Chain A
Amino acid sequence: MTFYGWFTIVAFVVILTALALPLGSYMARVYTGERVILTPIFATPERLLYRFMRVDPERGQDWKAYAKSLIIFSLAGWLFLYLVLRTQDAPWVPHLLNPLGYHSPPWNVTFNITSSFMTNTNWQYYSGETTLSYLSQMIGLTVQNWLSAGVGIVVAVALVRGIVGRSGKSIGNFWQDLVRTILYVLAPLSVFVALVLASQGVIANFSDYLVVHTITGLTQTVAMGPVAPQLSIKMLGTNGGGFFNTNSAHPFENPSQFTNFFEMLAVLIIPAALIFMYGRMTGNRRQGHAIYATVMIMFLGAVIVAYIAEAHGSPAQHAAGLHTGVISGSGGGNMEGKEQRFGIAGSALFDVITTVTSCGAVNSAIESFTGIGGAVPFANLSASEVIFGGVGTGLYSILLYVLLAVFIGGLMVGRTPEWLGKKLEAREIKLAGLGILITPLAALFCTALATATKGGRASIAEVALSKAGGNTPQGFSETFYAYLSQANNNGSAFAGYTGFVQPNAGNLGAHGITFADVLGSFDMMLARYAPILFALAVAGALAGKKVSRAGLGTMRTDNPTFVILLIGVIVLVGALTFFPALLLGPIVQGLTGHLY
């Protein structure tokens, strides 16, 4: 551990908070239809878009209509992406957009990629630079990076409207929310981030791949591409799908310490701002601050554990006499799988940020983390995206937890539980309970299927390599992480669990592993859309409720006691659900020096 390391972490938290506060206010204005600084620029294109889509943005939708629009929009997007990917070698695609003449990936892995990008997961069984053409990356994946981020945000906005709504059934208009999200929030931020990154050395071109001769006399192919624009939305939209296989460890995706810091800010800025937006929209900013405090405490807990664990190194490294202490020129600690230019703090922080959110980008190898350090991303995923979470997803997920915490706490103060003046009754509890249940249950169910069946075990590297069964804690961790990550729409991976076998770049002779591809798609879709529908239904149920006045006897949701209660509920639900499974994977590994 170094002063510089801790300083990086503290500076990050301070700058993030300072930037998210004004952005939150800005977003609250955007979604309540107030005039903002960008209104003069975007008002006309916004109007034209509505006319083009033939929607009346002023007509409010009830939750069912809102959900219907969202589902239709998502289905259409799914079909479009699937077709783009399956026709990337079609004759009409210009050479410039497929310079290497890549074939289309097989149906099963395409199915998985499509579901993955639709659901903001960006789980990747494939390597971008050896599988996809520039066209697929741009009008396929990048477009979905925008839209899936937009969908997540609008659901959160709709839920907040339901919570604070005073009249009737309307929770807003899906099309208006989506258009505003893209024009007023994602577009300006994305352009800014892309320009900054490009200025720092992130590439953006349509070149053929470069072939260079290395100093050792070998030749090496260097992948090129329009990286910067895709990268900015990959971060801002908590998508995380890398242009390159090595994701944010690749020098063209993340060239320096500065870009690393900047990319981390880009990941958390919108989830953090959304929390402040919530406070603004409730009319009591402290409501937002309480949730921000809740997630920040859990976030810092994760960062501190990960940083200390990685800086300390593993028992095995100590036993082997590897340099785990600070030595001149080296920060010490577990540097396996980490980039020298980011160091331990830059890697640990990045790792926590991308696993608490649904981003899933990586700048270091999670599977090379120490036992405890590697347990941190597991724990983050076990919290089901409530610690900041994905853009939008994080806010609506934690709001469902808030609802449960208010219910339990509310009973304990002797009143029918009220949340911002609205009584919580059977219907809300049922919907919120189901909304919270689905993600962990999908993860457990899919992992069980994958570990218990031959089809599932075929994907595990350890099993495939070993003739003697090869069931190891590592193999279990990889499988569990794969389905946990897909259920949380995260996309990061403990390498080793595969759904795509690709002998040559360009997909010639490649085949997908149908079981893993389809089960993963099911995992991602279920854990994305079921909670969305439940969150919208909660919004609908709350929208029309009578508001009662808060008094001395009403439980407050904006003070430290509530923060503790909320953390307790989140940690307890997550821990009770995943503890047994975690025991068999990372914990048993972390408790022993034995290598499996």
Chain B
Amino acid sequence: MNETKATSLFEGAMLRRALWDSLIKLDPRVQIRNPVMFVVEIGSVITTATWLIQVFGGKALGGNDPAWYTLTIAIWLWLTVIFANAAEAFAEGRGRAQAATLRSMRKETVATMSDGSTRAASELTRGDVVVVEAGEPIPGDGTVIEGIASVDESAITGESAPVIRESGGDRSAVTGGTKVVSDRLVVEITQEPGHSFLDRMIALVEGAERRKTPNEIALNILLAALTLIFVIVVATLRPFALFAHTPISETSLIALLVALIPTTIGALLSAIGIAGMDRLVRRNVLALSGRAVEASGDVDVLLLDKTGTITIGNRLASEFIPMPGVAETELAEIAQLSSLADETPEGRSIVVLAKQYGIREREMSQIDARFVPFTAQTRMSGVDIDGQQIRKGAGDSVIKFAEGEGGHPPPELATQLERIAREGGTPLAVARDSQILGVIYLKDTIKEGMQARFEHLRAMGIKTIMVTGDNRLTAAKIAGESGVDDFLAEATPEAKLELIRSQQREGYMVAMTGDGTNDAPALAQADVGVAMNTGTQAAREAGNMVDLDSNPTKLIEIVEVGKQLLITRGALTTFSIANDVAKYFAILPAIFVTVWATSQHGQSPLHVLNIMSLGDPRSAVISAIVFNAIVIPLLIPLSLKGVRYRPIGASALLRRNLLIYGLGGLIAPFIGIKLIDLVVHGLLGA
């Protein structure tokens, strides 16, 4: 889906649809939401009316323009509005194409309820329990309450390999529209009808639920204020000019007004917003609100889980280190026993390592043992067998356990624990009742290129904090090697939540990723919480974004998209305002061509302001308006793609963008208007 999503910008059918939409959007009830373009539309109506009056022989107010001039201006004003509509329509069109793919998956399916009855999938409500057999689509979002199965989620994630979904644990969430490939699942539905994940996704990419984000609202107000200034400037210009015995026609005044108000950014503003959301979807990230996308640009602190994000997958057992008086094989055997029921990768790796000591694998069911699962509080797991309690876990927890049983940890234990931790490994202590037998050495491998990524983030002004359940020493070692700025060791869900809160109290915006139900409170507390799609339903509901690829480092891209969104708006606003200078130099000498001329047919002293030496007054005004209009479609690709973000620090970035869009915006229209004038003036043959 990653590839297929990249539809070309100007595909035939989409282009036609967008053009048609841009005409529909001329409806004033649509335009009034955008004050800048609304003013342009009013101007278009007035100039058109003026032209009609002229055509039917009436006398237009002010000035005596030829009808062709009024018509030309009117046409280009309408085009300005249409171009603005087209920008929005293109952005929406790209989203719509994705929505169509998604919608095709929302076929009407029949759900089999747990009691054997059937019901239409669209009528399922929260709390219903359905059974899904191999080959059937899952009828709605829910949590697996029984069974384990492989599920094809390619429809929403684009990933063709099926994923495992099972009851309990962190892989229990299923999404409506995905398909069970093997086995059978019993699913409790967690959505209300019409509010499924797929429904929300469709609404999002179509922009139907688009609400203006806080920054967009503020910018809109600024643009409205600028428009108001120019309305007054142009309105008062008429009496000023009359004082100088120079009547100016409505057409020229309206042309001046439209040239001055920030039409470029006004036209592209909503397209930028829609495109930002679209860029996230293209990266397989679903933001549940535009606000969240914007907030991601503001992130100061990134919380990253160590496992899977900074280190490759999981730690693996690499060595058994017995305490004095304990044989290595004895330790291996006990370690294996403690891990038999431990389905975590670490647990399995211990069993694998034990095999090298000639200890054959046993089945839990064959021995009389009771499994003691790992909890975040005890931070140990193990088995109770033959009246013996075997435990393995973090050093301090196991020591506490052994001491509780009346034992005394040997002095070598502390040395070994510390050595392994210093080396960046994870030590697991193994105890049988009061006796600590030894230590298992778990090794971590840091992903390639992480250092560069953190360097990149630092340049963006973002602090990274690694979160891990490891002890301080291990955490410090890995943190040092990978280059994160800070770490939280021995993290419990509570400690994680508290870390987020304390960072927020200090005035930082915090982003984090998470997948487990444990993570839900922290995801909800973080300013930007990205839930992994593989995660639990609770996690997916707590976050404000879902990453369909379940890739924790995706956060970096999300932050960049958020920043791009704001930069694009700021840059085009600057460009739009800077353009006005050239337009003044084009239009004002044109409309003041005779003002205070020293002789009857002489030129105004103000003709020296015609520094572009535009052909004649009418071609000057037309050229300015044409430039003003065509700059909109020219900038559509930029606004859809976004201004590139560079992590070079705020000051350098500001300098760069000021230079390109401020200074560039000052100069570009001088060149553009002059070029257009060469054509227009040539066509007029004057």
Contacts and interface: CB of A to CB of B under 8 A. Distances in A.
A188 interface: no
Contact of B214 (A426, A430, A444): A426
B400 to A, nearest CB: 38
A368 interface: no
Interface string B549-580: 00000000000001110110111011001101
Given A424-B218, A579-B584, A588-B596, A411 B236 contact: no
Interface in B633-650: 645, 649-650
Interface in A400-438: 404, 407-417, 421, 424-426, 428-430, 433-434, 436-437
Nearest to B508: A549
Counting chain A CB atoms within 10 Å of each CB, the highest count among B237, B244, B463, B563 belongs to B244
B570 A433 contact: no
Given A587-B606, A588-B605, A404 B222 contact: yes
Contact of A440 (B229, B461, B608, B655): B229
A452 B237 contact: no
A581 B240 contact: yes
Contact of B221 (A426, A556, A564, A581): A426
B566 A414 contact: yes
A425 B588 contact: no
Interface string B664-681: 000000000000000000
A4 to B, nearest CB: 34
B507 A552 contact: no
Interface string A571-593: 01101110111011001100110
A437 B222 contact: no
Contacts of B567: 411-414
A425 B650 contact: no
A497 interface: no
Interface in A276-324: none
Given A452-B239, A549-B506, A572 B578 contact: yes
Interface string A121-155: 00000000000000000000000000000000000
B278 interface: no
Contacts of B217: 425-426
A411 B605 contact: no
A584 B661 contact: no
Nearest to A433: B225
Interface stretch (B25-33, B294-302, B314-322): B294-302
A448 B240 contact: yes
The size class of the interface chain B forms with chain A is 35 or more
A553 B650 contact: yes
B458 A552 contact: yes
Contact of B243 (A414, A421, A476): A476
Counting chain B CB atoms within 10 Å of each CB, the highest count among A407, A551, A555 belongs to A551
B654 A554 contact: no
Contacts of B297: 414-416
B240 A447 contact: yes
B208 interface: no
B243 A592 contact: no
Interface in A476-512: 476
A444 B462 CA distance: 47
Nearest to B246: A584
A445 B235 CA distance: 9
Contacts of A548: 300, 507-509
A471 B507 contact: no
Contact of A429 (B221, B460, B507, B571): B221
A424 B221 CA distance: 12
A585 to B, nearest CB: 9
A566 to B, nearest CB: 11
Interface string B197-235: 000000000000000001101110110010011101101
Nearest to A451: B243
Contacts of A407: 218-219, 222
Contacts of B506: 549
- Provide the main secondary structure of the chain B interface: helix
A425 B567 CA distance: 16
A354 to B, nearest CB: 26
Given A414-B564, A476-B240, A409 B654 contact: yes
Contact of A594 (B229, B461, B598): B598
A417 B650 CA distance: 12
Contact of A452 (B242, B294, B295, B604): B242
A356 B584 CA distance: 25
Nearest to B660: A412
- Provide the main secondary structure of the chain A interface: helix
Contacts of A410: 566, 570
Interface string B233-272: 1011101111111000000000000001000000000000
Contact of A584 (B218, B241, B507, B508): B241
A445 B578 CA distance: 25
Interface string A440-462: 11001101110110000000000
Given A415-B566, A421-B507, A552 B221 contact: no
Contacts of B288: none
Contacts of A592: 596, 598, 605
B279 to A, nearest CB: 14
Contacts of A2: none
A366 to B, nearest CB: 20
B580 A473 contact: no
Counting chain A CB atoms within 10 Å of each CB, the highest count among B214, B222, B649, B650 belongs to B650
Nearest to A428: B218
B45 interface: no
B243 A433 contact: no
B487 interface: no
Given A416-B566, A425-B218, A576 B225 contact: no
Contacts of B300: 548-549, 551, 553
A69 interface: no
Contacts of A547: 507
Nearest to B645: A414
B507 A413 contact: no
A451 B240 contact: yes
Contact of A577 (B233, B295, B578, B598): B233
Contacts of B595: 584, 588
A561 B584 contact: no
A197 B631 CA distance: 60
A253 B573 CA distance: 49
Given A414-B297, A415-B563, A552-B650, A429 B218 contact: yes
A565 interface: yes
A448 B566 contact: no
A559 B658 CA distance: 14
Contact of A411 (B215, B245, B592): B215
Interface string A152-184: 000000000000000000000000000000000
Contact of A549 (B507, B569, B609): B507
A546 interface: yes
Contacts of A409: 570, 654, 658
Given A476-B244, A548-B509, 18 more contacts: A409-B658, A411-B219, A425-B218, A428-B218, A434-B225, A437-B225, A447-B236, A448-B236, A452-B243, A547-B507, A552-B458, A556-B651, A561-B658, A562-B654, A576-B577, A577-B233, A579-B588, A584-B243
27 contacts: A404-B222, A411-B567, A411-B569, A415-B650, A416-B294, A417-B215, A424-B218, A426-B217, A430-B225, A441-B228, A451-B239, A452-B242, A546-B507, A548-B509, A551-B461, A552-B458, A552-B461, A554-B650, A565-B654, A565-B658, A572-B580, A576-B229, A581-B237, A584-B240, A584-B241, A584-B244, A594-B598
Interface of B: 214-215, 217-219, 221-222, 225, 228-230, 232-233, 235-237, 239-245, 260, 294-295, 297-298, 300, 458-463, 506-509, 562-564, 566-567, 569-571, 573-574, 577-578, 580-581, 584, 588, 592, 595-596, 598, 604-606, 608-609, 645, 649-651, 653-655, 657-658, 661-662
Q: Which 5 A-B pairs have the closest CB atoms?
A: A553-B461, A411-B570, A414-B563, A552-B461, A433-B225
